[in-house]
Structure 1
């Protein structure tokens, strides 16, 4: 059910941690409403942080990018998987140790900043391999990493996101590049640093001190699962990768606390619902059919989604939904589901 009038979701939290791609921006353009949402949080005195699996930019570069979009941000508010990977390697390797880097210059810069030496060849006998997303990563880079791992170097992946969002649709992410090495080596990375591992969110919560933390993300498999592992509440916004069919089929570890169409859900009680809701909530009723779920009744589409999640998660049904009334058909269309 949607919140009661006057009960803003954000009022229950002292820190809001945002994912970036698909939540605040797509590539280098702000998502509609994102600038205004962050501005309202600052005006309300809420602490804000940003946690991103994208390892192609340094924290200072991300802060500069955000500020240029109209979202004032400091480097210490930005947590990247590149920086977290470098800090982890610093703690495990001797100073000056060579690290074979596969990825963007930002990852090399983070490795260098913690006192380690980025290299590109397996012949340099690297003490570890650090793999992150980079648009210029090619076969030669992956081949050198494969040779180094086979020679005994531990393999660190900044993240395993299968895709990253763009205005043209999902594009291959670092997880797709990791899959190349996984296929060649016949094994998994030794360490995955970014989401859904809880380190980025836990670090943000520690930096903010006491109080409740809300994680806002667009991906069930990284943002929402990472928040769950960190023991934090989460809000899924439907402006990026994960959609309603994926939400209905989500396993328990990937189920958000709340869902909203966009960041307006932080402030408007009618624009957000708590999940899973109840099967007959908000004027809607949901039943299990042979082909999936049947939605009947009338009411706000988000209330319909909460009711659908309640039944789908309890019955472990597929995401197929059939409309039993014209109003249900309209609600399903609003949620991106075929009636």
Structure 2
């Protein structure tokens, strides 16, 4: 497997879409060389956007978090979150009523809002299912993996309310070698056992890429898909999403995809990035 130098790859594009976790930061903190890389890209006049599947944080909170890690200079308007796309859907499709959710109260306040009443799945009155106008898988924390997952399955069996998945990630790293189940895994399990299809946001869904394109278009009026590179650490979200949207993709080996298994994962998944780089900092 050929490893490309990111500095040489990025020279070919006007616009760089960057995942956050695994590209800018990982379980150790800020990835080495990232500050210098971002400074170089900005000096070269590149248009940057962060596309993150972390639905629990607003763009403002995500911007502050990057500063906390030591990476200033990403204003909220340059950050596209899956929470923002989920919120937009709920505002348009579910204008009033209760939304039952799996996740943290902070995620629910940010994503649901807009006049809707957010209620944790654990507190749903199962004798009044008709009060629930939507069900949302929001965040990787804030619920009991056994009790509340079983409860949401039973809620879904009885309710025909629309179901939204704000974060489609299947796993998230907790150490250098270990991972934990993410919200997307719980939602996929529920889809399988119930034979239903939920409305999904975040990569690889198209909404975030389209919002990123529209955002850049306000600065670069003649932007085309061939001008954009998507950089991510996960084949089934970042790379699949970028490929499906029609933009070039670069897989970095500084996050979920490990160097020793990358070639096998690419071949077995059938998801082929245009480039493979060690990290954006090398």
Structure 1 length-normalised TM: 0.70
Match of 1:292 in 2: none
Moved more, 232-241 or 36-45: 36-45
Aligned to 2:180, which of 165, 171, 191? 171
> Residue in 1 aligned with 2:265?
246
Deviation at 1:2, TM superposition (A): 8.0
Query: How far apart are residue 107 of structure 1 and its match?
Result: 2.5
Q: Does 1:158 align with 2:166?
A: yes
Structure showing greater radius of gyration is: 1
> Does the 8 Å CA contact 2:90/2:112 hold for their aligned counterparts?
no
Instruction: Kindly report which structure 2 residues correspond to 1:263-274, keeping only aligned pairs within 5 A, or say none.
Output: 263-264=280-281
The 5-angstrom pairing of residues 201-216 of structure 1 reads: 201-209=209-217, 210-211=222-223, 212-216=227-231
Q: CA deviation at 1:41?
A: 1.4
Distance between the aligned counterparts of 1:105 and 1:234, measured in 2? 35
Residue 142 of structure 2, aligned match among 136, 148, 151: 136
- Shift in Å, 1:163: 0.7
Provide the secondary structure at the position in 2 that maps to 1:129. Answer: strand
| Contact 1:157–1:189 under 8 Å retained in 2 | no
Distance 1:86 1:132, change over 3 A: same
Structure 1: 4+ residue segments shifted above 6 A: 1-4
Length, aligned pairs only: 259
The residue correspondences of 1:2-41 to structure 2 (distance < 5 A) are 8-27=8-27, 29-41=29-41
- Give, in whole Å, the separation in 1 of the partners of 2:148 and 2:61: 24
CA contact (8 A) 1:19 1:218 kept: yes
Counterpart contact for 1:103–1:132, Cα < 8 Å: yes
Aligned to 1:114, what secondary structure does the other structure show? coil
User: How far apart in 1 are the matches of 2:46 and 2:191?
Assistant: 41
Q: Which runs of 5+ in 2 are unaligned?
A: none
Instruction: Determine the C-alpha separation between the residues in 1 that align with 2:182 and 2:216.
Output: 30
- CA deviations 1:265-320 (Å, max 9, x no partner) are 6xxxxxxxxxxxxxxxxxxxxxxxxxxxxxxxxxxxxxxxxxxxxxxxxxxxxxxx
**2: distance between equivalents of 1:92 and 1:102?**
19
Structure-2 separation of matches of 1:69 and 1:40:
19
Q: Show structure 1 runs of 5+ residues with no match.
A: 266-339
1:148 to 143, 150, 155: 155
TM-score (norm 2): 0.83
Alignment partners' CA distance in 2, 1:62 and 1:193: 17
Q: Aligned to 1:12, what secondary structure does the other structure show?
A: coil
| 1:33-75 Cα shifts (integer Å, max 9, x gaps) | 2222112112222111111112232221111011222322111
Structure number with the bigger relative contact order (C-alpha 8 A, sep ≥ 6) is 2
